[in-house]
A and B are shown apart, each in its own frame.
Chain A
Amino acid sequence: MIKSELVQKLAEQNPHLYHRAVERIVSTIFDEITDALVRGDRVELRGFGAFSVKHRPERTGRNPRTGEAVHVPAKSVPFFKTGKELRERLND
């Protein structure tokens, strides 16, 4: 399922809303999660999962082709941990 199909489904469940409004609702949700992560906040959606930012310290990497050592600077990466309820739903 891609974003437009998600919008489509939500629109079908809410026939009283304009399609444009439904698009805005879906975008707002993902923008809000993104903005939270950019602030370094955690987004906790019980039963679904939690988004957070993990810090990766700098390290010395290696170019696998040449074997040359390269400095990889510290960075932050988005991380998602599946919620308990969803994890269980995947397996029943």
Chain B
Amino acid sequence: MSNNTVTRADLSEAVYQEVGLSRNESSELVESVLSIIADSLADGENVKISSFGSFAVRQKTGRMGRNPKTGEEVPIGPRRVLVFRPSQVLKSVVAGID
């Protein structure tokens, strides 16, 4: 395992290598893809990318939480959270690594 971190710059570089647009346009396209996904999720619409996984927005009810450091009770309001469910394909290619 290499333990490196891949960032937007690496994704842009991959798009640049693969499609042959300028580096600038490649990085704008990566940004656009992330924005389209984020906008859809912010609208409460789930996003499903076949053979990769799906992003789903879940509604959570409010509950009483506790500050683990002080033991103090704090109310946690109802909120929406994002969950990512990897596809079967992604799960199986990742399962074997250690």
Contacts and interface: CB of A to CB of B under 8 A. Distances in A.
Contacts of A25: 15, 18-19, 29, 33
Main secondary structure of the interface of A (DSSP, over half): mixed
B19 to A, nearest CB: 6
B29 A86 contact: no
B91 A78 contact: yes
A47 B97 CA distance: 28
B18 A28 contact: yes
A8 to B, nearest CB: 10
A82 B81 contact: yes
Interface centre among B7, B34, B47, B94 (most CB of A within 10 A): B94
Interface residues of B, number: 51
Chain A residues touching B, range: 35 or more
Interface string A20-44: 0100111011111110111111111
Contacts of A53: 94, 97
22 contacts: A1-B45, A2-B49, A13-B32, A17-B21, A24-B18, A29-B30, A32-B11, A33-B52, A40-B1, A40-B3, A40-B97, A41-B6, A48-B34, A55-B98, A76-B97, A77-B91, A78-B90, A78-B91, A78-B94, A80-B84, A89-B38, A90-B82
Interface of A: 1-3, 6, 9-10, 13-14, 17, 21, 24-26, 28-34, 36-46, 48-49, 51, 53, 55, 74-80, 82, 86-87, 89-91
Interface of B: 1-8, 10-11, 14-15, 18-19, 21, 29-30, 32-34, 36-38, 40-42, 45-53, 55, 57, 79-82, 84, 86, 90-91, 93-98
